[in-house]
A = this chain, B = another copy of it.
Amino acid sequence: MSGFPSSLDNLIDRFASLPGVGRKSAQRLAFHVLSLPDEEAFAFADAISEAKRSIHRCPVCQNLTDDEQCAICTSAKRDQSTICVVAQPRDVLSFERSREYNGVYHVLHGVLSPMNHVGPDDICIKELVARVSAGGVSEVIMATNPDTEGDTTAMYLSRLLKPFEVKVTRLAYGIPVGSNLEFTDEATLTRALSGRIEM
């Protein structure tokens, strides 16, 4: 018993269930929402319901969309023969911000992780294989994170796609632009060395 009304307790619980939000922060957020004008608080509630109701996965690339297919898959300006494979919808955002990539995406919604009981059937791998086997794809770029699980997933997928004779590439990993050799960790340096290119 916190001494708060139960509906406030319930709201605090909801906020506390969000990732990275502790009990104290949840309280602060709940009090903030209560202090909002009525229409803004209700708009917040509606934003949650509305997003949940309208957003689903694009049947082609599995990215989130509120249309039948996502804007990237239906765009005539995008190169449909190059597929960039990412783990999460937010990774698509990172690429789009760079404005350098003109192909399409495939969102796995996770990476292989035996530790967390995530196997090939738990992420959108069969959808990727179906896209590649349907033909018209010249290159698949593996853009999962450069960590153990991301690397494993990329390796697994590249073997899976081998029979289709499609070019499978992996993002270059090395020293970040603007960074400093002194503060670059050994793993990154090793990657930068092994991935060195001729000048």
Binding site for B on A (CB under 8 A): 2-8, 10-11, 13-14, 18-21, 25, 27-34, 36, 38, 41-52, 54-55, 64-67, 71-72, 88-90, 92-93, 96
Given known pairs A19-B32, A20-B25, A34-B64, the reply for A8 and B45 (CB within 8 Å) is: no
Q: Are B93 and A4 touching (Cβ within 8 A)? A: yes
How distant is A166 from chain B, measured CB to nearest CB, in Å?
25
A-B contact pairs, 19 of them (CB 8 A): A3-B93, A3-B96, A5-B64, A5-B67, A7-B55, A8-B51, A10-B47, A11-B47, A11-B50, A18-B29, A18-B33, A20-B25, A31-B89, A34-B51, A34-B52, A36-B52, A42-B49, A45-B48, A45-B52
Name the B residues within 8 Å of A10 (CB-CB). 47, 50-51
Report the separation of the CA atoms of residues A48 and B54 in the bound assembly, to the nearest whole angstrom.
20
Q: Are A32 and B18 touching (Cβ within 8 A)? A: yes
Name the B residues within 8 Å of A89 (CB-CB). 4, 31
Q: Are B90 and A31 touching (Cβ within 8 A)? A: yes
Q: Are A5 and B54 touching (Cβ within 8 A)? A: yes
Report the separation of the CA atoms of residues A143 and B44 in the bound assembly, to the nearest whole angstrom.
33
Select from chain B the residue with minimum beta-carbon distance to A70: B5
Given known pairs A29-B19, A51-B33, the reply for A5 and B42 (CB within 8 Å) is: no
